[in-house]
Structure 1
Amino acid sequence: MKIVLHAGFHKTGTTTVQNALKTNRSTLAPEIHILLKNDLTGLIGATKGYSSSLDPLDLALISFETAQVAQTLRDHHAVIISAESLCGHIPGRDNIRDYAAAPEILRCITGAINQTLPQAELTVALTVRPASDWLLSCYTQHLRASRMRSTADEYLDEFADCANLDEMARLIADAVSPTPTLVYDALASRRHRLGLLDSLLDIVQYPATKRSALAPVADANIGPSPAQLAALLEVNRSAQSQKDVLAARQRLIKGTT
């Protein structure tokens, strides 16, 4: 059995590859079992909990939840798991500054999978992008999903020292060793017809001859325009109630105002 654990990072094309997995799920199903964030609610709750608390009890819960998931995989030939929150909260949310908790989280997850399924060939896959692009994408996400009041420049200055995804990927690779870790450039992956999905399929050795039957998907989470970003910041900084701010943001995101 081959298992791919695609665990992030946030804002590195994860939604796009998950959409591709979802779109092609039935075609891949005879040979590849797919697990996405909605299939992993207990485990993701535990990873987010630990990234906030760093409490050993939450780490133990990660091991338990992972083992529960792994038990369901015994009868599958190949498995692809993709959920960016498997490395914890997105930095900048809920007082989480960086991915400092991610190496321990993924050490715990890979350990539980290897213990539950000792014959499985497990590979960790991570996607990265340049620091400045990644920070701006995170800022946009926070502006849309939380009451972010900082300007883009303020946010980039504050989190500039937390944006080296290549270094974090190295720390994760060290933490999960001897389980192998493969790191992919999110932007370079766009050159492939199926995007990052092609790389994940390579890991599980899905034949290239069968891939013409798979449907490519468009890039997801295309960012708002500069005018929309300015309007979102204005809404977040307003004196409106949280309920009204949520409604106003939704209208802006949908382009109805």
Structure 2
Amino acid sequence: MTHVIVHAGFHKTGTSSLQDYLRAHRARLADRVTIYLKDDFLDAGNAARRYGMRPHPWRLWRFRRALRDFLNAIPEAPVIFLSWEGFSGVMPGHRRPLSGPVRGMARAAVPLARGIVAELRHRFGPAARIEFLYTLREGETWLRSVWGHIARSIRLTEDYAAFRAGFRTLKPLDAEAATVARAIAPVPVHTAWLEEISALPQGPATPALRLMGLSDTEIAALPRASHVNRGNSDAATQTFLHLNRTLADPAELKQRKDALARDDHRNRP
């Protein structure tokens, strides 16, 4: 019986740290689990992102078709781990063409999760053991991190107060995960708070390693995680906003922000 663990998000909850750790130690864990990350299923990942931006039924079908192609191409294995935050859609703050900014996760995350379950059953059979993992983060720090990322990635011009005002009814991420859990029951949905797992020796990868079946002793024997702060500094974020407001040429804007992001990360401790 195949056991598949799907780490489906959420964005800005330590997902990159989790994935970096598993990428670095994938070979060491190969006798226990087969790990697939974003670069392994780019077609399905891009289709999921497009669906998150425009959640139309045909885009969901394209995601499922791309995921099916990927699953059909991989060998069977006792334990399989899939990780990409795009499996829950796109990050809040991105603007959908007709309906405005994305304000929550469930609208895309629920159909995507249902589609993932259906495609896993199609590939590995009805007896396959499927589990989902969502990493979470406290609402205010999460939203501020989202704001900083959006300012870096698109032409956001709002300061944090104005951005925050658009999320007056912000739903906590554990509530979003609970909505997904109800939608795909009886498939188990596990959650882990970044505030609790980030300081662990193996960092945000710890709950994933446990779901893979590693004991606490086995996890403790693995290398410690490196602390990686992927967010930009406050000063850099303010400069991103200034550039978004003042540079008209998209190519120049991207070039300037890319250079600033590189310098910011290079100069931070």
TM-score of the superposition, structure 2-length normalised?
0.88
Between the two proteins, the alignment pairs up a number of residues equal to: 257
- The answer to which of 162-171 and 24-33 deviates more is 162-171
- Give 1:134 shift: 0.9
Whole-Å separation in 2 of the counterparts to 1:220 and 1:93: 24
Question: 2:136 is matched with which residue?
Answer: 128
1:172 corresponds to which residue? 180
Q: Is the Cα–Cα contact under 8 Å of residues 44 and 88 in structure 1 kept in the other structure? A: no
Aligned to 1:93: 94
1:42 and 2:43 equivalent?
A: yes
Aligned-pair CA distance for 1:162: 3.6
Give the drift of 1:58: 1.7
Q: Is 1:250 aligned to 2:258, yes or no?
A: yes
1:232/1:249 contact within 8 Å kept: yes
* Paired position in structure 2 for 1:77: 78
Question: In 2, distance between residues paired with 1:94 and 1:203?
Answer: 35
Counterpart CA distance in 1 for 2:234 and 2:55 is 37
Moved over 4 A (4+): none
Q: Which residue matches 1:217?
A: 225
Verify the 8 A CA contact 2:138 2:195 in the aligned structure 1. no
C-alpha offsets along residues 162-198 of structure 1, whole Å, 9 cap, x if unaligned? 4421111111001111111001111101232112322
Kindly indicate whether the alpha-carbon contact (under 8 Å) linking 1:13 and 1:220 is maintained by their aligned counterparts in 2.
no
Q: Distance in 2 between the 1:209 and 1:131 partners?
A: 32
Deviation at 1:107, TM superposition (A): 0.9
Moved more, 11-20 or 53-62: 53-62
Q: TM-score, normalised by structure 1?
A: 0.92
Residue equivalent to 2:213: 205
Q: Is the 8 A contact 2:177 2:191 kept in 1?
A: yes
Bigger mean CA offset, 76-85 vs 203-212: 203-212
User: Which residue among 234, 238, 242 is the counterpart of 1:230?
Assistant: 238
CA contact (8 A) 1:7 1:126 kept: yes
**Unpaired segments of 5 or more residues in structure 2?**
none
Q: Residue 125 of structure 1 aligns to a residue in which SS?
A: strand
Structure 1 stretches lacking a partner, 5+ long: none
CA contact (8 A) 1:78 1:204 kept: yes
Contact 1:11 1:138 in 2 (8 A): yes
**Which deviations, in whole Å up to 9, do the C-alpha atoms of 1:90-132 show, x marking residues without a partner?**
1111324122211111111112112321232110000111111
Go from structure 1 to structure 2 and tell me whether the alpha carbon gap of 1:239 and 1:211 turns closer, same or farther (over 3 Å shift). Answer: closer
Q: Judge conservation of contact 1:47–1:88 (CA < 8 Å) in 2.
A: yes
Aligned to 1:156: 164
Match of 2:146 in 1: 138
% identity of equivalent residues: 23
Residue 57 (structure 1) aligned with residue 58 (structure 2): yes
Q: How far 1:240 sits from its partner (Å)?
A: 4.1
C-alpha distance after superposition, 1:49-85 (max 9, x if no partner): 2223322222222222222233345521211111000
Shift of 1:48: 1.8
In structure 2, C-alpha distance between the alignment counterparts of 1:243 and 1:187, rounded to whole Å: 37
Contact 2:209 2:219 in 1 (8 A): no
Q: Supply the RMSD in Å over aligned alpha carbons.
A: 2.0
The answer as to whether partners of 1:140 and 1:229 remain within 8 angstroms in 2 is: yes
Candidates 186, 200, 203, aligned match of 2:194:
186
Offset at residue 25 of structure 1 (A): 0.9
